[in-house]
Amino acid sequence: MLNRCLHFWRLACFLLIALAGATLTGCNNTEPEAPATVAGFGCLEDLEGHSVAVINSSTSDVLLSDTHNFSNITLIRCETPTELFAVVKDGKAECAIIDTVVLATLNMEKHGMAVDFNLPGGFDVAVAFNMKDEKLCHQFNDFLVQIKSDGTLDDMMERWCNEQVDTVQMPTIENLEKLKGHPIEVATLSDNPPFSFYRDNVWTGLEVEMMMRFSLFVERPVHFSGYTFGEVIEVLRSRRADAAAANLFITPERSDQVLFSHPYYLCKTSCFSPAAH
């Protein structure tokens, strides 16, 4: 059994790196590691014959949908992390795979959950643009260079990714109200803390703050619209949005449809299930 688990660890690592390109961005040193508290499953192979919740159209969905390597997994596709937690808590799925940072900031212990294992490898996360918006994408890359060099990005990652999401407050970003001109339409997720969420009738989160700072950089106002994760690529392709800030992993399949900025964050993923008592 040990040898088979090790084989699947190697396979998972290969698939994750092949999907993502897994290039370190320099921001990963602020990312919290989910503790391996082992609630029941030890590796990806252990998920065979079980029900697993994933975010619809996510890379976890793609990975576990690969019937060549996983022939007997029942996938429960969810639209938001809140729904993902609920289906595991209610017993509709035996476990789930999710972004490690999202899991850590949502206080999994409060939900009676524990980490089974952390998946190897990682995914580069970036902002996506319509294929015809090369100029805007280049401007965003210039903006990333600036906020990486002056420490702004590290500060944002520290605040949003190392604290419980209920305790983090959106900073006041001055002069946004003075911006004129055609707004940058940003497609995002309304329930994906700490990256983007709608709280007290206000958009907030790491990617929301980042896009607000970008709007100052290009001196254009910004407007956010909420979509499900499975919708954002098509929204961008149909030009209903200029950019998508939705914790998007860079994959070859998505890169055929949209332009990606340089990565700003290396995401890791974890499998979790109800804590053993």
> How confident is the model over 66-101, as pLDDT tens digits?
878 898 999 999 999 889 999 999 999 999 999 988
What per-residue confidence (pLDDT) applies to 111?
Answer: 75
- The percentage of the chain sitting over the pLDDT mark of 90, rounded to a whole number, equals 60
**138 and 252 co-located in one domain:** yes
Could you list the beta-strand ranges (E) of 51-112. Answer: 51-55, 74-78, 95-99
Q: Which domain holds residue 68?
A: 2-122+268-274
Question: Average pLDDT in the 33-51 region?
Answer: 74
Q: Looking at the 3D structure of the chain, how many domains does it have?
A: 2
Confidence bin at 121 (pLDDT 50/70/90): confident
What per-residue confidence (pLDDT) applies to 28?
Answer: 41
pLDDT for residue 39 is more than 80: no
**177 and 217 co-located in one domain:** yes
Question: Average pLDDT in the 25-38 region?
Answer: 42
Lowest mean pLDDT among 21-25, 40-44, 69-73, 233-237: 21-25
Cα–Cα distance measured from residue 256 to residue 25, given in angstroms and rounded to the nearest whole number: 22
pLDDT for residue 15 is more than 80: no
* Token code pair at residue 150: 């002056």
Confidence bin at 163 (pLDDT 50/70/90): confident
DSSP-derived pairing of the beta strands 222-227 and 243-249: unpaired
**61 and 183 co-located in one domain:** no
Cα–Cα distance measured from residue 77 to residue 84, given in angstroms and rounded to the nearest whole number: 8
Confidence bin at 40 (pLDDT 50/70/90): confident
What per-residue confidence (pLDDT) applies to 31?
Answer: 45
What per-residue confidence (pLDDT) applies to 32?
Answer: 45
**57 and 164 co-located in one domain:** no
**115 and 73 co-located in one domain:** yes
Where is pLDDT greater, at 36 or 153?
Answer: 153
pLDDT, mean over the chain: 84
Q: Check whether the bond before 194 is cis (ω within 30° of 0).
A: yes
Cα–Cα distance measured from residue 100 to residue 266, given in angstroms and rounded to the nearest whole number: 11
Confidence bin at 107 (pLDDT 50/70/90): confident
> Is the four-CA dihedral 158, 213, 228, 60 of positive or negative sign?
negative
What per-residue confidence (pLDDT) applies to 128?
Answer: 98
Question: Average pLDDT in the 97-111 region?
Answer: 82
**153 and 186 co-located in one domain:** yes
**36 and 165 co-located in one domain:** no
**7 and 30 co-located in one domain:** yes
**117 and 128 co-located in one domain:** no
DSSP-derived pairing of the beta strands 123-129 and 265-267: antiparallel
**86 and 177 co-located in one domain:** no
Q: Say which CATH number the domain at 210 has.
A: 3.40.190.10
Tens of pLDDT, residue by residue over 235-271, are 999 999 999 999 999 999 999 999 999 999 998 899 9
DSSP-derived pairing of the beta strands 51-55 and 95-99: parallel
**162 and 59 co-located in one domain:** no
Confidence bin at 50 (pLDDT 50/70/90): very high
**151 and 258 co-located in one domain:** yes
Cα–Cα distance measured from residue 188 to residue 89, given in angstroms and rounded to the nearest whole number: 26
Three-class DSSP category at 160: helix
DSSP classification of residue 47: G
Three-class DSSP category at 52: strand
